[in-house]
Amino acid sequence: MTKPGEFYQRDRNLQPPAYTPSYKTSVARSPGLAMISLQNSVSKITGPVFGHNDIDPIDNDMIFNYAADGESAIGERIIMHGRVLDENARPVPNTLVEAWQANAGGRYRHKKDTYLAPIDPNFGGCGRTMTDDNGYYFFRTVKPGAYPWRNYVNSWRPAHIHLSAFGSGFCQRLITQCYFEGDPLIPKCPIVQTIPDQDAIDQLVARLDMNATIPLDSIAYKFDIVLRGRRSTLFENRLEGN
């Protein structure tokens, strides 16, 4: 059995660069100097470990986790599910996945959001879950609405759910956004278009999944998250001096 070695280096040709002027806020928030490349050390191959005790079972159900008794969130009921995998297509088990989103009208429950669409009193908009032994996760929620933002005068974000995943090493840490199949706002969005690779954009679009749809209840979308993979130690020096 070979030991796990270093993580594959991040492919910066498919990840968004820091400076993407069509997304205006990135202009003053992007480093101007090149990053310094580091080989892996113990500081990066390790990362926080979470357990089921850290969260509650209801946390992954956004239809009910902020609703009053007997009430539920308003909107198109969906199941968002998939697997967290690494680049070797191996499942990433027992890892924390967090999600947040606007309500069905595109309004966020955040004191800084002043969009005129109303708050849903029974919808918070955040959820979290641990993947199971097969890397599988699921959320129940309502499909978020598109919303306007101050980039160009008439910019609208596609419907999206923000997702955060950990993996086993801190260098796998990832925050991304999941979009919905067929949304015509996707190709118009400057945030989507920060990604230079069309295949990488397509990988952010969740697909309608009729097999997982619960009849007369909720429509399902499937969204897999791929974190950096790790090669096996074959011949090279050990990461550490022990």
Partner 1 sequence: MSQTLDYLKETASQTAGPYVHIGLAPGAAGFDIYETELGHDIVGPNAKGDRIRVEGVVTDGTGAAVKDVLIEVWQANADGFYAHPEGGGEVEDGFRGWGRVISDFDTGEWSFETVKPGSTSGRDKSKQAPHLNLWIVARGINIGLNTRMYFSDEDAANATDPVLNLIEWVDRRKTLIAARTETNGTTVYRFDIRLQGENETVFFDV
Binders of partner 1 among residues 184 to 213 (CB under 8 A) are 191-192, 194-195, 197, 199-201, 203-204
The residue to which tokens 């679009």 are assigned: 205
User: Which amino acid is located at 242 in the chain?
Assistant: N
* Subset of residues 113 to 152 that bind partner 1, contact rule: CB under 8 A: 113, 124-126, 128
Q: Choosing from 147, 221, 228, 230, which is the catalytic residue?
A: 147
By CB under 8 A, residue 221 contacts partner 1: no
CB of 31 to partner 1, least distance (A): 5
Residue 137 among the catalytic residues: no
Residue 160 among the catalytic residues: yes
Residue 147 among the catalytic residues: yes
Asked whether the beta carbons of 143 and 75 are under 8 A apart, the reply is: yes
Burial of 127 (0-12, 13-18, 19+ CB in 10 A): buried
CB of 156 to partner 1, least distance (A): 14
By CB under 8 A, residue 37 contacts partner 1: yes
Rounded CA separation 64/79 (Å): 13
Rounded CA separation 96/131 (Å): 7
Task: Name which of 128 and 140 has its Cβ closer to partner 1.
Answer: 128
CB of 216 to partner 1, least distance (A): 28
Task: Name which of 16 and 213 has its Cβ closer to partner 1.
Answer: 16
Structure tokens at 73: 């969130």
Give the distance, in angstroms, between the CA of residue 63 and the centroid of all CA atoms in the same chain.
19
Among 170, 181, 187, 217, binds partner 1 (CB under 8 A): 170
Cα 179–Cα 226–Cα 14 angle in degrees, nearest 5: 75
The residue to which tokens 């050990």 are assigned: 238
- Ramachandran area for residue 185 (φ above 0: left; ψ -120 to 50: alpha; else beta): alpha
By CB under 8 A, residue 159 contacts partner 1: no
By CB under 8 A, residue 72 contacts partner 1: no
Q: Choosing from 77, 115, 136, 162, which is the catalytic residue?
A: 162
CB of 242 to partner 1, least distance (A): 6
Catalytic residue annotation: 108, 147, 157, 160, 162
